[in-house]
Structure 1
């Protein structure tokens, strides 16, 4: 019986019941040690099994927290043998590589996550599943990331995940957005009932004192009475200045201290071990004491309530017992215990390396190199964070005059690639005072400059960076490529920031010196981002000469596609962004995929591919939040807001803009505020609030404004010109048009040319406007359907103002049809209003059935219509096959059909 936990048990029962009915989820239990987390998990597990559910469990162990995917393997190992073959080959290989069973290409963490989710979903097809993870704060990082990925995707599964985390410990799961249940201490009545049940023989005064000392902690109430067998026990245990946890540890140690020496040896080895394997523990204990120990040596610890033995597995009855035993041992004894385990684990390289590290009393280069090998294996298993951690620990165990600097440098490089810039900076600062070879010293200097954002805008610092880059290119065979990689963040900083022209030029010249061939891809990317105005024409020309299929790597496709969007070359960027999205999906690189989708969404908006933009932005915002990249999520949110404006969903758009802008200001992400201004400006244009539109959009082109971003500003300069014309700001309209026209000629960017064609008639004298409208409507705008439709609307409006009503109807009809085809309701309604004003009776548009579908439902429906199975769709979208089925079950009635055979791509729209 669990005293005082009726509400918590009801909540767990409700979650489990919903999960077993196919609407699963996850819950994180948080509380202090001994508060009852383990007991609640056990109760939920037993209740699920009683309902014929399948239970899978994992227990976090401190000494195991550095071994990548150890916790996930512990969770899934019972079902791997019988169910691994049910996975698609790529998913099966991802799991086996993560667990070190096969030597395959390093799997992305999210490929491992999807494989694990699909394995669990397959199990749930047979019977409901409950996943129980206790002491999750000590589950290794890669496993925690996978668990968070799974937990967020159980809504359509017959599965639930329950996790327990000790209060005061940080974990990856804290940022997973999971619902939490904080466990309070027991109330007085429950505490008295629990104590009475465990120690009915206590006299009243002792019972009252124990109630005070236990302070509502269930473990204290059930365990402390066992230590009160004598007056000495009372004096030792009930010390008012000790916290509850420390009292409990003393209680457990008092029991352990009376056990035979051989049993205490087994307890220490078990506390240091991360597997709980009985044979492994006994062998290490034998090495530690120099004498063979029988299985019977565990029995006194089991009888004392310290250990539990199930088959060949040994575990402590509570994590506090483990920590109490381990930390109470003399330091020399602990080191010897780890050394014994390392000797036993000769065939398990990674675990052996970490136990050797724990056994080292001080710097030891041999142990450090062993950890370096473990780091290499972690990289092969798709666990770069674990690799960086191993290299960091190896550096701590190295002599500054031997390997420390090299190991810190390599760890910093991995952390930079993972986006952990603060950690990388700290490690580089530490490496500065250690021995580095010449090429390593150059690499170190290069990364120090690349990660120093202040240097991005200083001509002197950029020149110094360029000099180091040149030296590195001549010092190492791959030095030029490495230097270009380090130059890339400076180029991105130039696009988002506002450096002097000299700084932009230095970055571009350095990249050109480092390139190994004409038009090298990274050089094109750096030039585009570092100096869009000056380099756009060259980059566009070089990109046009690239052979089809010459860029095959998904990351390179993304870099080139995103760089082409930086110079307004959305038509050129489009095939690269689409290829990047497809390639990154296949590789399971969700972080970079979220970025690529956000770039694709904005390119699609500016190309007039609005339905595709909506699905890309929707997926980008979800994946970016999944992967801890909130800034890209906000970029996608603002794309969704812009699309909502154009669809006529004004309330939703305004709320999304408002909340996103508030988040950006809190983060200090000023460079993204320009996207918010673009969305605000489009909102105002659609509402015919031209004065507001002018003020909002002009800010983005004002160097003194916090939202200043000239490159984003030119996305909406046609809107700005239109707003200026409508508000009587003729001079400003002509000035902005001159800027736009000059930039279009200089950069050769077709997007800018299209906007100039649209804007020119707006600023021209009345007697010149018609010829400009007609000239602009030639085939040059055929690749820009949105701008062409807006030009037709403007031309029809101009004709109507000239009282040429019959002539006005033709372009207005064409505009209306184009906007309807693009799914842009707001502008379509403008065209209808103009047609009515031109004397034509025009009704409301026929409701688009596709508007009933969410972006993800539309995405899934298109994939299903193309013939993909649920499992194939799930693999592409990083959801389970069961979730795909649930989405389709909602799609069918919305579309008025009953089966996937009735889905046709032609009916689902396109861009």
Structure 2
């Protein structure tokens, strides 16, 4: 089965059956693209099944003719007529039937007579044509690796094909040539020939080819393999063999590479050996260069003087052309797409093939070329180091810090770990390994973190270094879902370190604060507060962000003023440190500042933004996704959740995967996909430790929302009620409260009003003095739903909506509009009900909350308003005069011009517009244009 070459295969078969004006087809392409396989498959399929005498030396063609084959070899390029001898060997028995002149020419060409005279190809070509003409039927000459065939043979083959083509037009027997070649078509064959250029497989075909290999690698490794192979079928097949029993990603010089089979190493090693010294040095140097560094090499070449300054041999300019012609590199304008090598795999293969000394020289050369780029220079100096080197280690550590600050954690971890390996002093080496482990923690590489912890313990017993380990161990335990065990380790460790290593104690408390975010246990929060009191007086100037993080995570609501002030400072003067901005963004998300959270986190985490770093942390991504959900960016939240799940699949399913799945479950429920929501929620709950209360309450809320969407209000109430204890306390100290309005809505429909009221009262008392605008909205909506009198209901709903910032928590705000409008309609306050219901419908439609959209439409119809679309339902809220003003303003008229048309003052028009904007749900005059119907005239 040939994958992804259906078009090319059909073209070759068509050529073999109907060669048309050309009798030569040259299949060109880089090594490994499948030229030989395509040619042989097409030849086989163009022939009837061979009898016992058929085979590679002589097979009947479809027209009763014969197939003759030759294969070019590197060592035979200077042997005249070597390839022609291969082709004609099966039919040389017909020499005796030829006229004397032709017979003598062929015997001389093939040195069949001792002391024979030299012969030119022009004499051999007519003799060859005569020999082939004596065969039955047409003849197909298959010449593979034509670039290595001797020129004399190619001249003869090309001449015979052209002469035969002319003779065939007069009724003679045709001779057809099918050749495969790397690089440009060989000149003797190219005259009048047709060419078929093979390119790398497209992504889908490459993926299919990999999936068809025995034991294909898992998803993350498969993506790396496909990236390295670059669509080259040979590379895909061979790399799949090499990675069959390989469980990780090795780091070799320029970056992550895959193990190679012996076949691939020999394949590319042979190509490298064929290059002259200057071209070889250039290719070797480029193989040691990282992504984005090769332009500096080419610039140095173009600038001249590189040979003397960088130690490269003379003739490097010509070397570039030689490397390109060899098919190893593809410079800009030569078909390259951001890569200097034809395929990423070639870089890895070359780097692994060369000696250690060659690698070292290449890295030193690059360090000199990149002397103005300290980070890259440090990396190449480190790669060239042949033993501990503190100077290089310090340069590499500084580069790691810069990488972390700009949000490149993978680069930072690799650099810091390499710096540790270059460090001779065990204590200093251990400290650098701890820093590498902390970056590996961000990358969610639990196995790497445990490996580095074990190495540190074996290196030193220094208390200051060992005090840094509990936070890492606690993260590993927490990631496994055991929050109580994590806290049992972290709190005593922080207390022990408070006296002799306050910064380490604060770092440990920071990890404990993360655990509290998952566990939601008030007892855990109080433990952190107690230890934090021991550290407050000892905190240094660099401990500010960590102290703010611990405080915010420990008591999210009490810390809101501090978070708000920090956000205002950041907006006024944006910082550049990735970690500080990330932590502030997370605190904004925790503290109910979702718009600020999105603004801060999107540039850091959003995979669709070019400035966001590659890769990501699934836990932080999921928190960003929830911030998108809470600001009405549901499509973005869905894509972020899916990416977070993929990241977890690449690493190891755990707490972070559960978070992302809970976000997907809530989104599915809100969109009305109840079955999907239930499946996601139950699957996540089944794989989640009960101590991870954050995921538990989110999944229970998803189940409640799914039941609400289906109208199963009793089931919905039970799910929402599970978020609180029998006494009304929250199961999760913060996130249970997000379901208060949901609980009240289900209670109002099922008769559980008194029970729900007890939960609302308990929440109100617990949150007194520290409620966010979101909690004000939720509690106000809940109290409005459960109010006994219309007056109390209106007071609660109005207060809830008045305090909600525009653009934030749109679903909760629309829910309040809907419940309020429904109550108003049932008590015959129709005009006011229409306004509330129209506002709810508009938001639900924009969000895509289908069940709630339908409910709002039903309520609007009951209030006497057509609800065939959001614009129409909002226009129905306007008076006749207001409608005229909207149409004129939408056409671009000013207030003065509108007033002149309607005999009103411009101030009156302004007052009308002031009242119209909230009714239509718009905030700018330009938005009024959307409310003008097609073809409507305004008098």
Range into which the TM-score falls when normalised by the shorter chain: 0.5 to 0.7
Which of the numbers 747, 752, 755 marks the counterpart of 1:724? 747
Determine whether 1:823 maps to 2:847.
Answer: no
1:487 matched to which residue of 2?
A: 509
Matches within 5 A, 1:858-869: none
Distance in 1 between residues matched to 2:380 and 2:228, nearest whole Å: 34
Q: Is the 8 A contact 2:360 2:384 kept in 1?
A: yes
- When Rg is computed on C-alpha atoms for both structures, the one with the higher figure is 2
SS of alignment partner, residue 426 of structure 1: helix
Query: For the structure 1 residues 834 and 320, does the alpha-carbon distance in structure 2 shift closer, same or farther, using more than 3 Å as the test?
Result: closer
Query: For the structure 1 residues 542 and 322, does the alpha-carbon distance in structure 2 shift closer, same or farther, using more than 3 Å as the test?
Result: closer
Query: For the structure 1 residues 729 and 185, does the alpha-carbon distance in structure 2 shift closer, same or farther, using more than 3 Å as the test?
Result: same
Q: Deviations over 1:328-351 (max 9, x none)?
A: 88xxxx343344445545514677
1:394 matched to which residue of 2?
A: 419
Query: For the structure 1 residues 597 and 266, does the alpha-carbon distance in structure 2 shift closer, same or farther, using more than 3 Å as the test?
Result: closer
Determine whether 1:736 maps to 2:725.
Answer: no
Determine whether 1:6 maps to 2:29.
Answer: no
Distance in 2 between residues matched to 1:753 and 1:285, nearest whole Å: 72
Distance in 2 between residues matched to 1:35 and 1:697, nearest whole Å: 60
Distance in 1 between residues matched to 2:801 and 2:634, nearest whole Å: 23
Q: Is the 8 A contact 1:492 1:529 kept in 2?
A: yes
* Alpha-carbon shift at residue 717 of structure 1 (Å): 2.7
Q: Is the 8 A contact 2:697 2:731 kept in 1?
A: yes
1:36 matched to which residue of 2?
A: 33
Q: Is the 8 A contact 1:601 1:636 kept in 2?
A: no
* Alpha-carbon shift at residue 494 of structure 1 (Å): 0.8
Determine whether 1:432 maps to 2:457.
Answer: yes
* Alpha-carbon shift at residue 412 of structure 1 (Å): 1.8
* Alpha-carbon shift at residue 389 of structure 1 (Å): 1.3
Q: Structure 1 regions of 5+ residues with no counterpart?
A: 14-32, 42-131, 137-150, 153-159, 187-213, 221-242, 605-611, 645-649, 852-864, 866-901
2:433 matched to which residue of 1?
A: 408
Distance in 2 between residues matched to 1:345 and 1:786, nearest whole Å: 56
1:600 matched to which residue of 2?
A: 627
* Alpha-carbon shift at residue 711 of structure 1 (Å): 3.2
* Alpha-carbon shift at residue 778 of structure 1 (Å): 4.8
Distance in 1 between residues matched to 2:363 and 2:445, nearest whole Å: 31
* Alpha-carbon shift at residue 3 of structure 1 (Å): 9.0
Query: For the structure 1 residues 354 and 845, does the alpha-carbon distance in structure 2 shift closer, same or farther, using more than 3 Å as the test?
Result: closer
Q: Is the 8 A contact 2:588 2:596 kept in 1?
A: no
Q: Deviations over 1:339-372 (max 9, x none)?
A: 4445545514677766665666665656655654
Q: Deviations over 1:171-221 (max 9, x none)?
A: 9684599999999999xxxxxxxxxxxxxxxxxxxxxxxxxxx9x999x9x
Distance in 2 between residues matched to 1:341 and 1:177, nearest whole Å: 25
Query: For the structure 1 residues 315 and 553, does the alpha-carbon distance in structure 2 shift closer, same or farther, using more than 3 Å as the test?
Result: closer
Aligned residues: 631
Q: Is the 8 A contact 2:400 2:415 kept in 1?
A: yes
Query: For the structure 1 residues 488 and 377, does the alpha-carbon distance in structure 2 shift closer, same or farther, using more than 3 Å as the test?
Result: closer
Query: For the structure 1 residues 783 and 34, does the alpha-carbon distance in structure 2 shift closer, same or farther, using more than 3 Å as the test?
Result: same
SS of alignment partner, residue 823 of structure 1: helix
Which of the numbers 494, 497, 502 marks the counterpart of 1:466? 494
Determine whether 1:496 maps to 2:495.
Answer: no
Q: More helix by proportion, 1 or 2? A: 1
1:336 matched to which residue of 2?
A: 357
Aligned-residue Cα RMSD (Å) equals 6.5
Distance in 2 between residues matched to 1:388 and 1:717, nearest whole Å: 43
Q: Deviations over 1:520-579 (max 9, x none)?
A: 6754543443355xxx3x33565678795477557767655654664xx64xx2563355
Q: Deviations over 1:844-868 (max 9, x none)?
A: 34345999xxxxxxxxxxxxx9xxx
Determine whether 1:526 maps to 2:550.
Answer: yes
Which stretch shifts more, 820-829 or 552-561?
A: 552-561
SS of alignment partner, residue 789 of structure 2: helix
SS of alignment partner, residue 867 of structure 2: coil
Q: Is the 8 A contact 2:513 2:554 kept in 1?
A: yes
- TM-score, length basis structure 2: 0.51
Q: Is the 8 A contact 1:701 1:713 kept in 2?
A: yes
* Alpha-carbon shift at residue 819 of structure 1 (Å): 1.3
Distance in 1 between residues matched to 2:745 and 2:510, nearest whole Å: 37
* Alpha-carbon shift at residue 164 of structure 1 (Å): 11
Distance in 2 between residues matched to 1:315 and 1:6, nearest whole Å: 26
Determine whether 1:511 maps to 2:498.
Answer: no
Query: For the structure 1 residues 718 and 295, does the alpha-carbon distance in structure 2 shift closer, same or farther, using more than 3 Å as the test?
Result: closer
Q: Is the 8 A contact 1:262 1:293 kept in 2?
A: no
- TM-score, length basis structure 1: 0.53
Matches within 5 A, 1:25-174: 36=33, 174=222
Query: Bigger relative contact order, structure 1 or 2, given CA contacts below 8 A and separation 6+?
Result: 1
Distance in 2 between residues matched to 1:360 and 1:326, nearest whole Å: 16
Query: For the structure 1 residues 789 and 773, does the alpha-carbon distance in structure 2 shift closer, same or farther, using more than 3 Å as the test?
Result: farther
* Alpha-carbon shift at residue 714 of structure 1 (Å): 2.2
Q: Structure 2 regions of 5+ residues with no counterpart?
A: 13-29, 39-197, 242-258, 649-655, 805-809, 875-889, 891-923, 932-939
